[in-house]
Amino acid sequence: MSIPKSIEQSFKVEYNYQLHFTQHLFHKENALFNNIFKDYANEGGVKILFVIDDGVVAAHQNLLDQIKDYCASFAPQIQYRDTIVLPGGEQVKHSVTSLNQVLQGINDAKICRHSFVVVIGGGAIIDMVGYASAIAHRGVKLLRIPTTVLSQNDSAVGVKNSINHFGKKNFLGTFAPPYAIINDSDFLKTLEKRDWISGIAEAIKVALIKDKKFYGEIEKSAEKLATRDMASMEYLIYKCAELHMQHIAQGGDPFEAGSSRPLDFGHWAAHKLEHMTNYKIRHGEAVAVGMAIDLTYAQLIGLISKETLIAILDVMGKVGFDLKLPIKPERIEELLSGIEEFREHLGGKLTITLISEIGKKHDVHQIDMQKMKEAISYLV
């Protein structure tokens, strides 16, 4: 009897997760947090380990007590295990120290695949804790509670988790959707001005490549956003998150197997600038500069008009972005090496997303390095 030389089998896995919007999440009258675990319906209650950004703890001094009191009110359905407080910001992704602390906490709290890690903080700590949760027991349940504009409208609503390694942003990571995300607008009230403005970059990004009407709404509300108008910000976060999640679900490549990544518009330069400045600039600030570079390049190669370029840069300026290149001119060649690093990150084929008009993306697979250098030089 001859034996076939191969066996082929395919299967599909469906993912479902929800983004909730609320205020005063850990007030006992707010049943949302409890209902998420009630819906999970694990027999004997659900064990929960909290990991919280220390900046959030400092800004909300009663938060730790509120969490413990809330969990006690809904015991035994919610089984509070422990809270780990870690530094926020990009430094939390630079080494395995914080990662190991979370993994140790998961082990010590006996968190299993039917238990939850709840992470509260900005995009960096959410990235790192998501990575820890994805690799512990090959995946424990993760609930994200983002506390910055950028994490509420972009990074925390996606399916990626990561830490930095070998001097490269997000070199180690996983694709693992969270069980759910909760956006509590109360956390936005204590943000520094830079963090308030920074996250608007991701909304401008997704509007420029996907939704002309949304971009027009950002343009009209630019000055309100700059002066911390909460209603304008809540709408911006909602619409940006909606477009981001629609892209993941309907874009045909949720785990980025291909080389086209329109949501990384402006990001090849942003990632390199973050590293070159030792992460002294926020991710959103770097994305704003990265978009300005790519928009200028798009104008230089004839994709968009000078009027369109000037109008977009004016909106970013009104919001509060400083679009001046945050490195010295003699380092421009080093910045340009970020294009090759981005190609490597994509998996071989270079694909840079530009726009041909507001609301319409345009992918290119080759870059005129002299014109890109010229585009960068405009921001010096």
Domain range holding 371?
193-377
In a domain, 246, yes or no: yes
In a domain, 253, yes or no: yes
In a domain, 175, yes or no: yes
Quick one: pLDDT band at residue 349, thresholds 50, 70, 90?
Answer: confident
SS3 of residue 172 by DSSP: strand
Check whether residue 176 and residue 198 sit in a common domain. Answer: no
For residue 287, give the CATH number of its domain.
1.20.1090.10
Check whether residue 358 and residue 213 sit in a common domain. Answer: yes
- Domains contained in the chain, number: 2
Amino acid at position 352, single letter: I
In a domain, 197, yes or no: yes
Q: How far is Cα 231 from Cα 154, in angstroms, rounded to an integer? A: 18
Above pLDDT 70, what percent of the chain? 97
Q: What average pLDDT does range 313-320 have in this prediction?
A: 98
Domain final position from 143, 164, 190: 190
Token code pair at residue 210: 């996907």
In a domain, 8, yes or no: no
Check whether residue 234 and residue 140 sit in a common domain. Answer: no
Domain final position from 190, 209, 244: 190
pLDDT of residue 167: 82
Check whether residue 183 and residue 280 sit in a common domain. Answer: no
Above pLDDT 90, what percent of the chain? 83
Query: For the chain, what percentages of helix, strand and coil (3-state, to nearest 5) are there?
Result: 50, 15, 30
339: left (phi over 0), alpha (psi -120 to 50) or beta: alpha
CA dihedral 39, 181, 81, 53 (to 10 degrees): -170
Check whether residue 348 and residue 303 sit in a common domain. Answer: yes
pLDDT at 38 over 90: no
In a domain, 7, yes or no: no
Check whether residue 66 and residue 159 sit in a common domain. Answer: yes
Check whether residue 301 and residue 183 sit in a common domain. Answer: no
Domain final position from 163, 190, 217: 190
pLDDT at 243 over 90: yes
pLDDT of residue 257: 66
pLDDT at 252 over 70: no
Check whether residue 120 and residue 261 sit in a common domain. Answer: no
pLDDT of residue 210: 94
For residue 120, give the CATH number of its domain.
3.40.50.1970
Check whether residue 128 and residue 202 sit in a common domain. Answer: no
Q: What average pLDDT does range 82-97 have in this prediction?
A: 93
Q: How far is Cα 277 from Cα 208, in angstroms, rounded to an integer? A: 26
Check whether residue 339 and residue 233 sit in a common domain. Answer: yes
Check whether residue 159 and residue 224 sit in a common domain. Answer: no
pTM for the whole structure: 0.92
Check whether residue 209 and residue 119 sit in a common domain. Answer: no
